[in-house]
């Protein structure tokens, strides 16, 4: 009995030594019972700055978002399930980075100014620029999307509300419009 008590005391002692995982200090999780009825999470640098990013996601999904303060937030989602996942390189993972912008002074396509498309197919313009091919098209929400072919992956950029959004996904997915629709539906 004595040894059993010692073993139990040792386990209790070790239990209190193991730190509990802490949530991101820049994240606040809300339940539907909180004031306002919002369920999800907010990310901000502090009380003075207000919420920079706000998502309607479960607390488990919120904890998978990478945000360390500042302007850039990164979230990875599984295609086609749209489930938020840990950041990793995988054919089914789309990594989305976003940051707030002053919309009136920002133009994503500035690098293509004065460059003529090499061809246009079904409303998609193809530009050969810097050794890479960039496709531009109007997204379903009216924003211009820039999708650049990087041999093993696509890197697409667009505006969404007051955010600059870039997302990267496996090169195996050729339909850049379909992938943009998928990302926009996640963002909505």
Burial (CB count within 10 angstroms: exposed 0-12, middle 13-18, buried 19+), residue 3: exposed
Paired strand residues for 157: 146, 166
Mean pLDDT of 134-141: 96
Burial 39-60 (b: 16+ CB within 10 A, else e): ebbbbbeeeeeeebbebebeee
Q: Which residue has the higher pLDDT, 152 or 19?
A: 152
Specify whether the CB–CB gap between 92 and 84 falls below 8 A.
no
> What is the pLDDT at residue 108?
82
C-alpha angle with apex 185: 183 to 187, nearest 5 degrees?
70
Q: Which residues pair with 95 in a beta bridge?
A: 76, 168
pLDDT given at position 96: 98
Q: Give the confidence band of 138 by pLDDT, cuts at 50, 70, 90.
A: very high
Please state the length of the chain: 188
Which pLDDT value is given to residue 4? 64
The pLDDT, as a whole number, for residue 33 is 76
Give the DSSP H/E element, type plus range, for residue 126. strand 124-129
Phi-psi region of 104 (alpha: psi -120 to 50; beta: other; left: phi over 0): alpha
pLDDT at 20 (0 to 100): 46
**CA–CA separation, 8 vs 10, rounded Å?**
5
CA-wise closest residue to 187 among 154, 165, 155, 157: 165
Cβ neighbours for 105, distance < 8 A, ≥ 6 positions apart: none
For 102-117, what is the mean pLDDT? Answer: 84
pLDDT at 6: 61
| Residue ranges of domains in the chain | 24-70, 72-188
What value does the mean pLDDT take over residues 85-107? 89
In the predicted model, is pLDDT for residue 83 greater than 70?
yes
Higher pLDDT, 49 or 108: 108
pLDDT tens figures, 66-79 = 998 888 999 999 99
Of the chain, the percentage scoring pLDDT greater than 70 comes to: 85
pLDDT tier for residue 98 given thresholds of 50, 70 and 90: very high
Instruction: State the pLDDT at residue 12.
Output: 55
* Cis check: omega of the bond before 80, within 30 degrees of 0: yes
Pure H helices in 49-188: 59-62, 176-187
Q: Is the pLDDT of residue 27 over 90?
A: yes
- pLDDT tens digits, one per residue of 153-185: 999 999 999 899 999 999 999 999 999 999 999
């Amino acid at each position: 009995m004595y040894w059993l008590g010692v073993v139990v005391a040792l386990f209790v002692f070790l239990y209190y030594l193991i730190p509990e995982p802490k949530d991101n200090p820049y994240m606040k999780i809300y339940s539907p019972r909180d004031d306002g009825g919002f369920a999800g999470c907010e990310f901000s640098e502090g009380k003075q700055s207000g919420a920079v990013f706000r998502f309607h996601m479960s607390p488990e999904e919120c904890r998978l978002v990478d945000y360390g303060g500042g302007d850039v937030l990164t979230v990875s989602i599984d295609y086609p399930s749209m489930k938020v996942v840990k950041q990793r390189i995988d054919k089914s993972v789309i990594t989305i980075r976003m940051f707030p912008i002053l919309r009136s002074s920002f133009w994503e396509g500035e690098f293509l100014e004065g460059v003529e498309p090499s061809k246009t197919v079904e409303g998609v313009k193809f530009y050969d620029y810097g050794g890479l091919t960039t496709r531009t098209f109007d997204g379903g929400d009216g924003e211009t999307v820039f999708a650049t072919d990087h041999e093993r992956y696509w890197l697409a950029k667009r505006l969404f509300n007051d955010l600059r959004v870039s997302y990267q996904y496996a090169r195996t997915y050729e339909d850049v419009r379909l992938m943009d629709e998928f990302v926009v539906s996640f963002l909505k």
